[in-house]
Homo-oligomer: A and B are copies of this chain.
Amino acid sequence: MVKFEEIDAFFKPDRVAIIGASKSLLGGGGIFLNSLMEMGFPDIIPVNPNEDEILGLKAYPTVGAIPGQVDYAIVAVPARIVPKVIGDCVEKGVKVAHIFTSGFSELAEEGGKELEDELLRVADGKTRIIGPNCMGIYCPESKLSYLPGSSPESGSVSLISQSGRYATFILIMTSQFGVKYNKIISVGNSCDLDATDFLEYLGEDPDTKTIAMYAEGVKDGKKFLNVLKEVSKKKPVIIWKGGRTEEGSMAAASHTGSLAGSNLLWESVFKQTGVIQVKSLDEMIDAIVAFNNLPPISGRNVAIITGGGGETVTSADACSDEGLYLKQFSDRTKWELENTLTIPGTIHRNPVDYSSMGSSPGILRKVTKIVVSDDNVDAVIVLLFVGPAILKAMMGSSIVSQFTSGEAPDESTTSRLLDQFIKLSINDLIRTNKDIDKPMVVVSPMMDAEPSTVAKLQNAGIPVYPSFERALKALSRFISYHEFLEKL
């Protein structure tokens, strides 16, 4: 087992050398220099034998030439020079390094494996390595980043990814849903430290509450299983296994040189250990958003509040697909719904249809409160409309009558009134969510058309999904993890 402190050193450097830095934005050296400067990392030292100064920072020809201590080296030089540079790092006493450069074990046929072995031999356990062929570390608290434009704010989710691309995609896409990260580690070929080492570390890390992982293979299956067992008891571990099919596994060999291993074996490991398994980028994002936001939950009985009849039918189908139950409401709840939803076309059973085209603002809040108070309900899923096209369609609906005398308002008045209506609905949901201790999830088809609306809900801790299917799948996974914990 790698010591906690050895890995912790990656996330707490005082001085970072970027070997292969350049002022241009081209190539890895430029990306990392710019990302760290943008984050405001205080002590960056560019290393480049051809420059005296880069973007206002004094540059040195080698890491050995830097006066004083260097804590962390980011290496972005051509592959054949990497072993020499790592040798310099060892000599300089650099404890940890990230190797961005590709062209190692993923190119087995072209001598890449031998180059990787050489570099590992040179490092000699004295300089611990992330990579090669990866993006390294994003840790906003320490002002480390591999992505220009990434958030400086720290959160409680941490991610380990064997793909640099997915490390970037997942960060960007979940950020849109208000997720903030504590640490992201893009591990690439994992010649020294691998996903298992970081998983073990994150299990101990008090700042990490949820762990997500994209993995194509691990070096030591048995060790991975043991670590998973321990960590999963303490915090949720969401895993997307790349190469879970024969076709994918063949592709993985070309990507990170991983032997993806038997899918059946992985599946059985996931089941044993309470891991939350996801099977696509969307499922990964949806699961992270759920675990990032929702309060603990004790059962699989959900209530669904839709705005139209077709949705009561298809959301019930989706519930059944995900193993969630639509228990019928208590008599009291039914009675209250009947007295609240009085216009024709509303449906008072579970799933409820509150008729979003015909109801007055404020009704959504009332209905949600009634439903969530029912003892037969463990979580509530609410459909909310946003999106200009839907709004336009709603122009002809009676919600307008809440604000006008019944005369047809002009287009700009209508827009303003509808904006007001949407704001009211959203504020209603946010207020209701504060009052209750059961998970609430919002479904909003065409949510992308209204990013500010979605952001408002997300920032209030309410996950928003584009479809019932995605919402219910994520919720079901969230519940499964809590069931796993209860059985321990």
Interface residues of A (CB under 8 A from B): 23-27, 30-31, 34-35, 79, 102-103, 106-107, 133, 147-149, 161-166, 168-169, 172-173, 175, 214, 216, 240, 242-248, 250-252, 254-256, 279-282, 307-321, 326, 344-345, 347, 349, 351, 353, 389-390, 392-393, 395-398, 400-401, 406-409, 414, 445-446, 448-449, 466-469
Contact = CB atoms under 8 A, between A and B. Distances in A.
A313 B242 contact: yes
A119 B97 CA distance: 79
B312 A280 contact: no
Contacts of A401: 24, 26
In order of increasing CB-CB distance, the 3 nearest A-B pairs are A163-B310, A448-B448, A165-B308
Copies in the assembly, this chain: 2
Given A243-B317, A280-B318, A312 B448 contact: no
Contacts of A397: 25-26, 31
Contacts of A133: 345
Given A247-B320, A279-B317, A310-B242, A396 B254 contact: no
A344 B244 contact: no
A280 B467 contact: yes
B102 A344 contact: yes
A383 B123 CA distance: 37
A407 B55 CA distance: 11
Contacts of A392: 148-149
Contacts of A449: 448
Nearest to A406: B24
28 contacts: A25-B397, A26-B398, A26-B400, A27-B398, A34-B396, A106-B309, A147-B393, A148-B395, A163-B309, A163-B310, A163-B311, A165-B309, A172-B389, A173-B446, A175-B389, A214-B310, A242-B310, A245-B316, A246-B320, A247-B326, A248-B314, A250-B316, A251-B313, A251-B349, A255-B309, A281-B314, A448-B448, A448-B449
